[in-house]
Structures are given as C-alpha cells and as structure tokens.
Amino acid sequence: LRQFSLQYTMSSRSISKVTVIGAGLMGSGIAQVSAQSGYQVTLVDLNEQLLGKAVQSIQTSLERVAKKQLKDRPEEAKQLVSKTMANLATSQSAADAAKSADLVVEAVVENLELKRSLYRQLDSTAPAGCLFASNTSSLGIAELAEAVPNRKPTFGGLHFFNPVPVMRLVEAAFNQLLEFSRSLGKSAVPCKDTPGFIVNRLLVPYLTEAVRMLERGDATAEDIDTAMRLGAGHPMGPIELADYVGLDTTKFIMDGWHAKFPNVELFKPSDMLNKLVEEGRLGRKTGLGFYKWDSKGSKL
Ligand code: NAI
C-alpha cells in the first residue's frame, strides 16, 4: 500500500503535459479525456486538415458530454467546453510537440515499423524521464520499445477502448500509467506486456471462433448471436460484434499473431473472414459485413 501511495504521489506530480500522436479515432478521444481532466494536451497528426477534423470532433463530443452532465446549467456546460478546449493545442511535428512533454501517448496506425520510426523521432527531443506509451491493440510493448533502448525503463502500454470518452476501461502495462488512467476517471487494470493485453487477447480469438462456427455451418449468425446474448449474458453477440469492431481489424490482428505464433490453433486464419475482407465487406463501417448496417451505424 505504501509503495502504491508513493507511486501515486510521484506520477500525479510528474505528469502535466501530455502529447498525443495520431488524431484519429483513438487519439482524438485520448486527447479529449486528458484535456477534460486538466492536462495540457498537444495533439499531433500529419496535416492541418486531419487536425482540424479532430478538433471539430472533440468539440462536438464535448458539447454532447456537457449538455448531458450539466443539463440545467448551460453556463457551466459552456465553461466545461471552453476550459477543455483551452487545454488543447495541435501540432504537425511529433518531435516539436514532445519537447516539453511529461507523457507521450502514441495512437498512430497499427504498424510496427511506423511506430518505431516515430519513437526514434520523439527520442531525439523528448526530455529524459518523459513517459512513452503506446495505445497498440496487438503489438508487444517490448518489441516497440526496441526502437529506443534508452527509453525502455519509461516505456509502457496504455490501451484505451473505443469510444474513449464513453468506455470506462484502460489497460495499463506499466505501473506509472495506472494512476494517470485513474486520474482520467477510468477504471484501470494492470496487465503484463503480452500481445492484446487482456481484452483483445480473449476477445479477438473469441470473435474468430464464432466466425469458424458459422463457417462450419454449426449455427446461423443470428442464432450464434442470440445464444451468446441470452446464454452468456453478453450485450452483443460475437458475429455482430465482429461487424462492429471491423472485420478488417479483426483479421489484421489475427494475421499478425498467426505470423508470430504459427502453431497456436486459435490464431489460424479463417477463409470466410478473409473472403469478406477481400470483397470490401468490412462490417459496420462499410454498411455490410455479416449483417447490413444503416448510414447511422445501426444494424438493420
Ligand atoms: P486511425 O486510423 O483512426 O488514426 C490514426 C491516425 O494516425 C491518423 O489520423 C493518421 O493520419 C495518424 N498518423 C499516421 N502516421 C502518423 C505520424 N507519423 N505522425 C502523426 N500521426 C500519424 O486509427 P485508430 O483507430 O485511432 O487507431 C490508432 C491506434 O490505436 C492503433 O494502434 C490501434 O491498434 C489502436 N486501437 C484502436 C482501437 C479502435 O477501436 N479503433 C481500440 C484500441 C486501440
């Protein structure tokens, strides 16, 4: 307990400036919740257009949160939005944005080499002792950290869930990041540096197993989903969830793990999943996967 409280004091004192790299779906959510919790945030992406889009989506999301939380207090709602937006800056240079950062959270596309080359850029300017964190869904943290060997003691995994402002969980594969996650109002679970951490390591093979069940003709998509909703108490069945997550994302993660662990039966590719992805049927995001989805993202 003593050790824990010491760590709490240390990390809560040391982090005030957070740089988030990648202003996509995840990065903009991470920037939003960090700015909302009072951190000075710099959000980085490749060009002005992507950054403008991210800032707009953060503003819209904040207005929604403020309206819901402060229903009868419109003045306070306005203030919450303006105070949070004032904590947010943008930059097109990762190296510049890392110069005064206490914590850098990387949320660029899931590509080992791209991430590694980014860490090398950050390493050239980030202060000594700056924490490096990756939001990776499936890559190993030690493998990512190989790009910057001197940063290994301050390098960890910090895995948020989509949509970031809504989902309560964060997985932290590095103790110093646990308290940061909790300071964002999230439930944080510590986990070891294993690919997929806890949730994706269980979830992605489960989704693929459900696709295999369908592939074998053991049950229909609808019946598999109904069975898991009513029999296991899940809010959404696995076939619908695979569509929701994106069939390309599911396949991409499984392909990566299969290449790395070719003998693990659970990671073997599924012909049906490969075929759907090849045909561009990626699930909710393309309007068609195992199911049909409308333009607002509701299952038809
Ligand atoms: P995304 O494609 O929405 O966003 C990635 C952003 O990174 C893009 O805006 C891109 O322009 C930017 N980017 C690429 N290279 C860059 C560079 N060198 N410097 C600055 N920005 C750069 O991707 P998404 O979904 O936000 O995923 C990001 C990371 O989070 C990935 O590692 C992914 O595995 C992980 N993740 C994704 C989840 C999801 O549900 N989408 C959930 C949890 C983690």
CATH code where residue 28 lies: 3.40.50.720
Residue 238 CA, distance from chain mean position: 20
Task: Provide the domain count of the chain.
Answer: 2
Return the sign of the alpha-carbon dihedral for residues 142, 145, 147, 151.
negative
Does residue 190 sit in helix, strand or coil?
A: strand
pTM confidence score: 0.92
Whether residue 153 sits in one domain with residue 9: yes
In a domain, 195, yes or no: no
Whether residue 110 sits in one domain with residue 13: yes
Could you read off the pLDDT of 166-177 as tens digits, one per residue? 999 999 999 889
The domain spanning residue 257 has which CATH number?
1.10.1040.10
Whether residue 114 sits in one domain with residue 262: no
**Which residue type sits at 231?**
G
Residues 6 or more apart from 58 whose CB is under 8 A from it?
A: 28, 31, 32, 35, 85, 88
Spatial separation of the C-alpha atoms in residues 73 and 258, rounded to whole Å:
53
Quick one: average pLDDT of 112-131? 97
In a domain, 294, yes or no: no
Could you read off the pLDDT of 67-77 as tens digits, one per residue? 999 999 999 99
Residue 14: predicted pLDDT: 83
Q: Is 23 annotated as a binding residue?
A: yes
Q: Which residues are catalytic?
A: 137, 159, 171, 200
Task: Out of 26, 33, 104, 199, give the residue to mutate to test ligand 1, the one with the largest number of ligand atoms within 8 Å of its CB.
Answer: 26
CA atoms within 13 A on the CB side of 140: 10
Whether residue 233 sits in one domain with residue 179: no
Q: Residues enclosing ligand 1, CB less than 6 A?
A: 21-27, 44-46, 50, 94, 107-110, 114, 118, 135-137, 160-162
Q: Show which of 190, 224, 258 is a domain's final residue.
A: 190
Pick the atom of ligand 1 nearest to 134's CA: 32
Residue 58: predicted pLDDT: 98
Evaluate the omega torsion of the peptide bond into residue 163 and state whether it is cis, within 30 degrees of 0: yes
Whether residue 65 sits in one domain with residue 186: yes
Whether residue 214 sits in one domain with residue 131: no
Spatial separation of the C-alpha atoms in residues 196 and 135, rounded to whole Å:
11
For residue 123, give its domain range: 2-190
Whether residue 139 sits in one domain with residue 33: yes
Q: What is the DSSP letter of 133?
A: E
Whether residue 101 sits in one domain with residue 210: no
Q: What does the block give as tokens for 298?
A: 């509701």
Task: Out of 43, 47, 108, give the residue to mutate to test ligand 1, the one with the largest number of ligand atoms within 8 Å of its CB.
Answer: 108
Q: Is 219 annotated as a binding residue?
A: no
Spatial separation of the C-alpha atoms in residues 143 and 85, rounded to whole Å:
35
Whether residue 47 sits in one domain with residue 27: yes
Quick one: average pLDDT of 87-99? 98
Residue with CA nearest ligand 1 atom 14: 108
ipTM, 2 decimals? 0.99
